[in-house]
Amino acid sequence: MDLKNRCALVTGGAHRVGKAIALQLAKMGAETIVFTYNSSEEAARNTERELKEICPQVLALRCDQGNTDQIRKTIQLIEEKYGRLDVLVNSASVFFSAKFDTVSEDAWNTVMNVNARGPFFFMQYAAPLMKANGGGCIINIIDESVKKPALSWIHHGASKSALWNVTKSGAIALAPDIRVNAILPGAVLKPPDWTDERWEKNMDTIPLKKMGSTEDVCKAVAFLVESDFVTGQAIVVDGGTTVL
């Protein structure tokens, strides 16, 4: 897919991996970049300014993707304002640490709603708009917990595994007009609550003995956007961690 004259939506695009992806799509020539954020308004405005330096049309929209009405309104606004949507990257998610016996019902529901239910309904509501303009590309950002369970993040891993299933089901249901794939990043960006020492120590668990970067994820995004014969697949970007 050539992104010239195309519109891309990145959920959770205000910061971290989502921001890097939004900037990547702009650099690839997208005419319009829309990104969502929930509580990170200051970061969203900063990202919006950066994007406007390289992209003709940029729109930051607040959206709590645990609320399907807000998801629906987001897609409706894109249709009304731009008339098309060609790329959807589901990057927004929440990440709560909890072991098996400490996960609360509220935490379980929140994580499943935002990380699995939200992306599904973004896909469902975006599909007709994509098809109306000849098709499109959907990329779900999951993570390595799909292949290697993380015992300190039980509900997070469950939500991402659900999204992987949705990815494969979507690839079949939305073909041939829309391609649906996933990216499973590993250690590409230090969690906000981790010390540098803890982050560097994590390198010992990676076969390639180095940390990744958001650039590694962006390269995978570029490949999946441009490759018209790939659907229902997952690119694992983790330095070999899940091989062990």
How many other CB atoms are there within 10 angstroms of residue 67's CB atom?
A: 15
φ/ψ bin of 225: left (φ > 0), alpha (ψ from -120 to 50), beta (otherwise): alpha
What pLDDT digit, counting tens, does each position of 32-73 carry? Answer: 999 999 999 999 999 999 999 999 999 999 999 999 999 999
* Cβ proximity of 55 and 32 under 8 Å: yes
Q: Which of 4, 241, 12 is nearest to 140 (CA)?
A: 12
Half-sphere exposure of 226 toward its Cβ, with a 13 Å CA cutoff?
Answer: 12
Beta pairing, strands 136-141 & 87-90 = parallel
Percentage of residues in the chain having pLDDT higher than 70: 100
Per-residue model confidence as pLDDT tens digits over 139-167: 999 998 899 887 888 999 999 999 999 99
Q: Which two tokens stand for residue 168?
A: 């494969």
Domain range annotation of the chain: 7-237
- Does residue 193 surpass a pLDDT of 80? no
Q: Residue 82 — pLDDT band, cuts 50, 70, 90?
A: very high
What six digits make up the tokens of 4? 């010239």
CATH topology of domain 7-237: Rossmann fold (3.40.50)
Looking at the DSSP bridge assignments, the partners of residue 33 are: 8, 58
The predicted pLDDT at position 130 comes to: 98
